[in-house]
Amino acid sequence: MLILARKNGDEIIIDSKIIVKVISASDGSVKIGITAPEEIEILRGEIYSKVKESTLRASEESRLRPLDISKLKFNKFKE
């Protein structure tokens, strides 16, 4: 892993097209601004991991047959 020390306002440029800018850093939290082409997907690491884990589990559990669902209702989302 490449590790770079950067100050507030400094940028890192990846492959001439992705700009990562340190907006501010304080109290153990860093605010980062990213400029990238539209086709580049930017995700928070922990959300990506959670989704990936869920997809893997859905694949494993897909052979399970639920007991009777005919009497149940959809859990409609309410705002």
Partner 1 sequence: MQIKTFQFGTVNFSEENILRFKAGLFGFEELKDFLLIKPDDDNIFYWLYSIEKPNIGFPLIGLNVIYENYPSDEKTTAFGIVTMNKDPLKITVNSKAPVYINQDDKTGFQKIVEDEKYVVHYNLFIE
- Residues lying near partner 1 in the complex (CB under 8 A) are found at 41, 43, 47-48, 50-59, 61-69, 71-77, 79
> Shortest approach of partner 1 to residue 36 CB, angstroms?
15
* Comparison of 34 and 51: residue with beta carbon closer to partner 1: 51
* Comparison of 3 and 43: residue with beta carbon closer to partner 1: 43
Distance of alpha carbon 28 from its chain centroid, rounded?
20
**Interatomic CA distance for residues 32 and 44, integer angstroms:** 12
Contact (CB, 8 A) for 46 and 62: no
> Shortest approach of partner 1 to residue 76 CB, angstroms?
6
Q: Which residues contact 79 (CB under 8 A, 6 or more apart)?
A: none
* Comparison of 15 and 41: residue with beta carbon closer to partner 1: 41
